[in-house]
Structures are given as C-alpha cells and as structure tokens.
Structure 1
Amino acid sequence: MTSASVKVPFVDLTLQHQPIQAEIEQAIQTVLRRGDFVLGETLAEFESAFAAACGVPYGIGVACGTDATALGLQACGIDTGDEVILPANTFIATLIGVLRAGATPILVDCDPQTALIDLAAAEAAISPKTRAILPVHLYGQMVSPRQLRDFAGTYNLLIFEDAAQAHLAEREGYRAGSIGTAAAFSFYPSKNLGAFGDGGAVVTSDPEVAKKMRTLRNYGAPQKYLHTEVGTNSRLDTLQAAILKVKLPYLAGWNRARNEAAQRYDALLSQYDGITPIQNQSGAGHVYHLYTIRTLACVSRDALQEELAKVGIQTGIHYPIPCHLQPAYEYLGYKAGDFPHAEALCREILSLPMYPGLEETQISQVAAGIESFITRQAAALR
C-alpha cells in the first residue's frame, strides 16, 4: 500500500508533533547549548516528572524497554535460577528481558476476553523457585492491581510490571507502574509517550532498587571508574529525555482522545456478528495503546485485514505468534497446544487504527470497511 492510497493510517505521529514542534525544537536547542548529551540535566528532570506521573518517587531512564525489563529485574534481585511467571501472549521483548536477567521464564495462558494474564493459570505454575510475577498491561489496560497484590501477597512474590503499552493507565485507584516493586516502560516512537527513537525507563518506590538501576545502566559504576556491579551501557539520551519531557504534559489528553476513539469504535462495531473488541474492564483508565478486536469463527481475520488494506485502511496484528511458539525459544520446551487461549487470540486478533487525532469520519470508514466485508462474506455463504 502506497502512502497515497492510505485513507486511514494505522498510526499518524504528525498529528501530535506538529502542534508542539516549536516546544520540542526549543528543548533540543537547550540540550545542544548545554552539551550534556549523556546523563544530562534534562534527563534527571524528565525522570522525576515521569515517576511522579506514575505515582512513585523514582524513575531511571534506559536505552529501551527491553533493557528496562532486564535491568529492572536485576535491580530487584532476580537472579539465575529464579523463576518469573509471565504471559505467553506478549511482545517478545518481555521474554527476552527475563532471559537477559538470568531468570527462568515460566509462561502461562491469558484470559481470552481481556488478553491479560490469567492469574489462575499463574497460580498453577508456581513452584518453590518462583520469585516474581511479571504482568503485562497489554494494549493499554492494566491487570487488576487488587488481584495482583492479593496473588503476590499469598505466594510471597515480587511484582514487576511490564507497562510498555500503558503510560498513565489507571485501574482500581492505581497508576501503571505503582502496583509492585518496579515497572518497565518503553518510549518507542509509536507508544502513547514516544521518543524520536528508542528509549525506556524503570519506575519504583524502592530507593535501593533505584540506586542499583542507576549503577547497572552505567557500566555497573556508582561513581566514575568504580564498578561494583556487572552492568552495561544503557542510558536514555538527554536529547530523547528533552523530547519526552515536552510531550509528558500532553499525555493525559492524548490518552483521553484514545479512549474516546475506542468508545466510538465500540458503538459502531457492536452491531456486527463475528467481531468483538478485547474487553475493557478499566473504563476511562484504559489508555488504548492499541484498539484490538477478535474475529470469531464466522469471520476470517486474514481476509478481513486484506480487504481493509485494499480500501486504504492499515491494520496490525499484536501478536501473530505467541512467545512459546517462536522458533528461537523452542529450547524452553513449550509446544503448540500448551496455551490454547493465547494461541487462539493470535489467530483471531486484529488491531485497528488508533492514535490521538483519529477523526470520527475515519473511525466510520474503518467500521464501514468491516461491515462491507462481513456483508459480502455472509452473502457468499448463503
């Protein structure tokens, strides 16, 4: 599909950047004048502001969301031989982060209605080696904080949140990043809060975790040339932090726009048999990084995606292959059929266009494209 033929893009970042372009350019110029491109003043300012927005005192910027998970788990004391429970239906970076921390990933199935981790399945997976649960706040919706905290308290487990898709998401009085010991965020450009390149952060209420994170991200050095940890080089660039700091005050408004767009989708799609949105159990607290539907047995997901593309509507699949069936991770010992809900969702889900500034007419175009496909498919089956 050429750019000229796209009527409804999957993501359009220009709509959020153009109105604040002057602010972004000024922030970049400030960093250029200071010349503190690594661990600079603006990075510290953004870390504090982002942590406060999440409802915790400490934020530590790193190079990407994968590093945030890997280093964050290490900072929380997760080590070789420790088992970490996580859902099979997540982006591969969650799994990679656990492996890079040296831990053993224990994958479990999801709730088919919300696509979030199934805590009953997690309970069945607990062993004497289980140290942590890693809930993924998928698509912008948080896993229930009360259920998570009850679960972790019952089994004496550490909670480490994957909030890469859930910037400022809320549920049951909690913000994403404030439920457990620490949380990982990604600032990939298409995230609700996105940089102009890769970036990530760990937020925490624990001062010791924050201290260790700052050491781990900077070659394991709490001070120059003194290396007390086996660390790495993973620092959020000051220039990226400057951009993120400008965008942060707008994030709540952008999230509201996403939620409102999702409500319009819900209203329009509710009339079509064979289509059901991933269930929202968080109301206005769902920040809809992605708006994802399930296509049921009477509707072919792949055929629907192809037909929408023909009329200029871009869509995505998040994610087409669950972690346990990825070829690189066969050695973990999982097989097809182990997690039936996750595997079914991978065959059924389709992510529709979603971004701040998505117009009601565009949402109507997407709905009309889906209606046309379903109508023609039903006629062909008669």
Structure 2
Amino acid sequence: MTPPPIPIRLLELAAEHAALQPALDEAMREVLEEAAFIQGLAVGQFAAELGAYLGGAHVVPCASGTDALTLALLSLNLPVGAEVIVPAFTYVATLEAAALLGLCPVLADVRPDTFNLDPAAVSAALTPRTGAIIAVHLFGQCADLEALGALAAAHGVALIEDNAQALGATFQFASGEVVHAGAVGAVGTTSFFPSKNLGALGDGGALLTRDLARAALLQQLANHGQSQKYHHQRIGLNSRLDTLQAALLRVKLRQLPANTAARQAVAARYDGALGDVPGLTIPARDARSSHVFHQYTVQVEGPGRRDALRDHLYQCGVPTAVYYPVPAHQQPAYAYLGYRAGQFPVAERLCETVLSLPLHPLLTADQVNYIGEAVGCFFDGRK
C-alpha cells in the first residue's frame, strides 16, 4: 500500500482553525477591546445564534459539558438518593454528575446496533424512586426519543438529553414532527470540548430547553444561584462560558453546517470502502435520526481482533481510538453501585469490539480509501 501524501490524523484542528484564522483573530480582537471577559456581549450573541440553529431552543452557556449535566439535574430539585437512569455504555461524566449531587446512577444496557440507550432496558430499570432518565446521543445520532419520551411521560420523570456528540442531529417522530437533538426532553446538554463537532479553543458547554422558565432557572443556577448580583435564591454553581470562547464559537458555528456535511460525506465513503468487509460491522443508522458523525465507530468480531486490527492500523500510519474500553459498571469509582460483570452484556461486548476510525471534515477520499485498504489487508490476511 502506498500511504497518502498527507499524514492521517484522528483530528485536524490546527488545519481547520488555520482556514478560519482571520475571523478568529477578529473575534479575539473584539473581546480584547471590550475587555468584558466574563458575560461579555459575545456570550449572549452566541446563545441566540446557537438557539436559532437548533430550531428556537433557549440556550444557557456554561463552563463545560459535565457542568451542563450537573446543572440539568440540579434544576430538577430531586431528593438525595433519587435514581437517575443512565446508559451502561457512555463516558463517565453521565454518571459523575448524578453521583456528585447525591443521586443514584442506575445503569441500563444499550442497543447493539446504535449503541444508544435501550428503551426496554430503561423500562425494566424504572422504579418509584426514579427521578430522571439521561439519554446520551452517542457518536452523532439520536437515541430513541419517541420511546424514551413516552416512558418518561408515563412515569412522571424527567428526560435529559446528553447531546455532546450529536449537536445538529434531528429526530423524526411517528407524527412526522422533526426536532433537534437536545430540544425534546426537559433539558438538553452539550459540550464544546475542542474535539467536539462544534469545539471551543478551550472548554465550554451549554444547556438547551424549550421552556423559558426552566431556561431562567438554569441561568440562575449557573451563576451562583443569584437572581441579581449578591442576591442568591438558590444554591448554584460558578459555571459560565467565558466571553473569548463564546466569540470563537460564534465563528465556528457558522462553519458547522458545512463541516457536518463533510463528516457525512466521509462516513459515506467509509461505508463504501468497508461495508463488505467480513468480520467488520459499520455504524448502524436509525432511519428516524440524522447522523452528524462525531465518530465513525465500527465493530470488530472475534476475541482480541479489535486490538489486533488497531495495532495493524497503527503500523500502517492510521490512528484509531476506543470509545470506551471499560463499561461504566466496571469502573472502580462506581463499584459502590454493586453491579457485577455480565449484568450489561451489550455494553461489555461493545467495550471489547468497538473501534473509532479517523473522522474530520478535512479527511480526503484518498485517505479514506487508504484506510479501507489497510482494514481489508488485515481481514484477508495480508497484514
């Protein structure tokens, strides 16, 4: 195999930012001139523009995606010990936010095709102590918002959408209504961690809701619980998106539709290159959801084969990542929950079989073809 002339990277943030450099420089200059580094003009402007992009949602910026999850749960005013149902296959922040508030994370297994929360598993996990369900829209497409929303409504619990990986994705209900991910449940959350589809040049996050009163509550909770300066009605957090990050995110938001289309084109090329490789399963698509491809995550069949393929690709100059190598219930920090190995078989199997390939808007057709050829060499014994 002849490697492509441009080295392959998981992300190309430096190159993506280079194309935006004049606009980023101008945004930084304006913030420096205003010198309002906390709650400056750009924060409100970014919130309004992101809300418009998401179909009219109210957006409350905050300091990180993890803070967004914490604030979303805090806004529900759940009693200590209330149960929060979360996926067994997720980043630990989903559990962390609940645990830090004295709530009890209750795990539910995920679907083997989309990796998203399995409504049947959620139904089995519901108890009179359940206060919320957190649906994580993993890798870029929506969880089953129809079924999960119905369960939440029937049991009188809140649905929270962790939308850190699927900003801009949409879901179509059986009625024909199309909604943006993050704007269906009581609260949606997102992250602007630099590697996200809409990433800051630092950390940041936001909360999303269609309820104006809840948006006001979230704004208050994110600013020390105060209704006005030095007047604190609630116990809150100091969690604010700083003005510089908001200004930079405004620039990058304008590129998000084009970048999403580019990601989808890369995923389609991967599908063509990898769809017929025996022993490899390409990402499933839920027909009701668009997919913005935060990750292109395949499954590799056979004990130890995922790691062997990863080593082979590394030797070919192709970086990969494993999201996630250890299921939530086997993390030492959450041993106190009392779960045992084998209790969430789908999540456990995914942790042994998933592999995320390079995916970013600048990945070329030649690079995708090279990756496809490298994968094919492994499976047909030419490694």
TM-score (structure 2 length as normaliser)? 0.94
Does structure 1 conserve the Cα–Cα contact (< 8 Å) formed by 2:57 and 2:183?
no
Give the whole-Å Cα distance in 1 for the aligned partners of 2:77 and 2:292.
30
Alignment of 1:12-27 (within 5 A): 12-27=12-27
Q: Higher helix proportion, which one?
A: 1
Contact 2:82 2:104 in 1 (8 A): yes
Moved more, 252-261 or 338-347: 252-261
Which of 248, 252, 257 pairs up with 1:252?
257
Figure out how many residues of one structure are paired with residues of the other and give that number.
374
Structure 2 unaligned residues grouped into runs of 5+: 173-177
Partner of 1:158 in structure 2?
158
Quick check: 1:299–1:374 contact (8 Å CA) kept in 2? no
What CA distance in whole angstroms lies between the structure 1 residues aligned with 2:293 and 2:320?
15
Tell me which residue corresponds to 1:364.
369
- Counterpart of 1:129, as a letter, is R
Cα distance in 1, alignment partners of residues 102 and 212 from structure 2 = 23
Following superposition of structure 1 onto structure 2, how do residues 172-187 of structure 1 map, counting pairs within 5 Å? 172=172, 173-187=178-192
Which residue of 1 is the match for residue 353 of structure 2? 348
- Go from structure 1 to structure 2 and tell me whether the alpha carbon gap of 1:79 and 1:30 turns closer, same or farther (over 3 Å shift): farther
Aligned to 1:77: 77
Measured against aligned partners, the alpha-carbon deviations of 1:304-331 in whole angstroms (never above 9, x if no partner) come to: 0011011110000000001111011111
Partner of residue 204 from structure 1, selected from 194, 205, 209:
209
Relative to structure 1, the CA distance from residue 224 to residue 167 in structure 2 (aligned partners, 3 Å threshold; closer, same or farther) is same
Q: Report the 3-state secondary structure (helix = DSSP H, G, I; strand = E; otherwise coil) of the residue aligned with 2:84.
A: strand
SS class of match (2:370): helix
Deviation (angstroms), 1:6 = 8.4
Q: Give distance in 2, aligned partners of 1:184 and 1:360.
A: 33
Pairing 1:47–2:38 present: no
Give the alignment's Cα RMSD to 1 decimal.
1.7
2:239 is the alignment partner of 1:215: no
> 1:125 corresponds to which residue?
125
CA distance in 2, matches of 1:314, 1:98: 33
Structure 1: unaligned runs, 5 residues or longer: none
Between the aligned residues of both structures, percent identity stands at 40
Residue in 2 aligned with 1:94? 94
Higher mean C-alpha displacement, 295-304 vs 82-91: 295-304
Separation in 2, partners of 1:97, 1:342: 20
Separation (CA, whole Å) in 2 of partners of 1:193 and 1:313: 24
**Deviation at 1:283?**
7.5
Q: Distance in 2 between matches of 1:121 and 1:283?
A: 20
Give the equivalent residue in structure 2 for 1:30.
Answer: 30
How many Å separate the matches in 2 of 1:234 and 1:6?
40
- Aligned residue among 260, 267, 276 for 1:262: 267
The answer as to 2:289 corresponding to 1:308 is no
- What CA distance in whole angstroms lies between the structure 1 residues aligned with 2:197 and 2:330? 28
Shift in alpha-carbon separation, 1:282–1:237, aligned structure 2, 3 A: farther
